[in-house]
């Protein structure tokens, strides 16, 4: 039998990452379509509540694993952190363009790199540090402080990337001790619980049509994360990461064609700079992993 490693299926990995991007752009478009007809926290809560439908098949495996109190407290804390990012993301979608949301969301891997160095003890070499600085230059190109007003939506997206990075760092730590089923299921459950009291406090009765669109938001979100998992299994992140740049192009096209949003060349340029930085960081991490995996020379 031939053992097929993830690196031997780069086309499949890129293909699944393209599907991931399409799912997330569809999700973004649906949230933009809903607009601010519902409070942001309520929209986020309903998205995760309806998304629990897709978590139901995981409940059996979750019960068999019986996570202890320490594990549940850790995942509860992660749920709080992720919930804050979700609320800010849904709010940003009502304030700024789809292209800006997508471009600034690329900051999350950059913050993950910084967080891994600060909190997980990972080494941050000078080249990766320069790439991080280059990514923040991309943010300045998008925001253009002093040349235009920075809206609350832009600030919300900066916060979104920070909270999501914290959530992903916690997931990275948890994945060493828990399988993917527990990580995904407990995130969905804890975020729903965390958002519930905030949503109830500002509750506006949703219409059947709003619930219909929110169901599809949940469906595309779940499908996107599933496709991303398949992409990571099929090929290294260094191979699939550049394909995520297509998501920005699709977001720009969707905003312009469907929502009549202005195509901002600075957003495209800044997003490209951030994405180039992320691609470089990903490539460097892949190189370092290969070097560390090589057996030492004898003698």
Q: ∠ CA 25-186-54 to the nearest 5 degrees?
A: 50
Is residue 197 a part of any domain in this protein? yes
What average pLDDT does this structure show over 101-118? Answer: 85
**Looking at the 3D structure of the chain, how many domains does it have?**
1
What average pLDDT does this structure show over 136-164? Answer: 88
Contact residues for 132 (Cβ-Cβ < 8 A; gap 6+) = 110, 113, 114, 124, 277, 281
Is residue 299 a part of any domain in this protein? no
Is residue 32 a part of any domain in this protein? yes
Is residue 119 a part of any domain in this protein? yes
What average pLDDT does this structure show over 77-102? Answer: 92
Residues 299, 290: Cα–Cα separation, whole Å: 21
Q: What is the pTM of this model?
A: 0.81
Residue span of the structural domain in which 146 resides: 10-293
Residue that wins the pLDDT comparison between 298 and 179:
179
Is residue 174 a part of any domain in this protein? yes
Residue that wins the pLDDT comparison between 2 and 171:
171
């Amino acid at each position: 039998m031939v053992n097929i490693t993830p690196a031997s299926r780069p086309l499949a990995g890129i293909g699944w990452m393209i599907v991931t991007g399409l799912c997330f752009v569809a999700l973004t478009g649906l949230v933009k379509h809903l607009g601010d007809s519902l409070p942001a926290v309520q929209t986020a809560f309903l998205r995760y509540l309806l998304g629990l439908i897709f978590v139901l098949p995981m409940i059996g495996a979750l019960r068999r694993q019986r996570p202890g109190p320490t594990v549940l407290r850790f995942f509860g804390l992660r749920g709080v952190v992720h919930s804050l990012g979700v609320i800010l993301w849904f709010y940003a979608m009502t304030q700024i363009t789809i292209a800006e949301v997508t471009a600034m969301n690329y900051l999350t891997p950059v913050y993950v790199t910084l967080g891994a160095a600060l909190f997980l003890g990972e080494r941050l070499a000078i080249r990766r540090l320069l790439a991080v600085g280059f990514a923040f230059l991309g943010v300045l190109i998008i925001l253009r402080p002093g040349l235009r007003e920075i809206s609350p939506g832009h600030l919300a997206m900066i916060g979104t990337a920070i909270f999501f990075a914290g959530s992903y760092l916690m997931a990275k730590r948890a994945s060493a001790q828990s399988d993917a089923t527990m990580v995904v299921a407990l995130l969905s459950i804890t975020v729903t619980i965390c958002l519930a009291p905030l949503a109830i406090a500002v509750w506006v009765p949703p219409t059947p049509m709003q619930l219909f669109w929110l169901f599809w938001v949940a469906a595309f979100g779940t499908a996107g994360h599933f496709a991303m998992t398949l992409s990571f299994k099929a090929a290294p992140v260094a191979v699939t990461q550049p394909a995520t740049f297509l998501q920005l192009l699709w977001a720009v096209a969707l905003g312009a064609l469907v929502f009549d949003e202005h195509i901002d060349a600075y957003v495209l340029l800044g997003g490209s700079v951030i994405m180039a930085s992320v691609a470089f960081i990903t490539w460097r991490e892949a190189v370092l992993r290969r070097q560390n995996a090589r057996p030492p020379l004898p003698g």
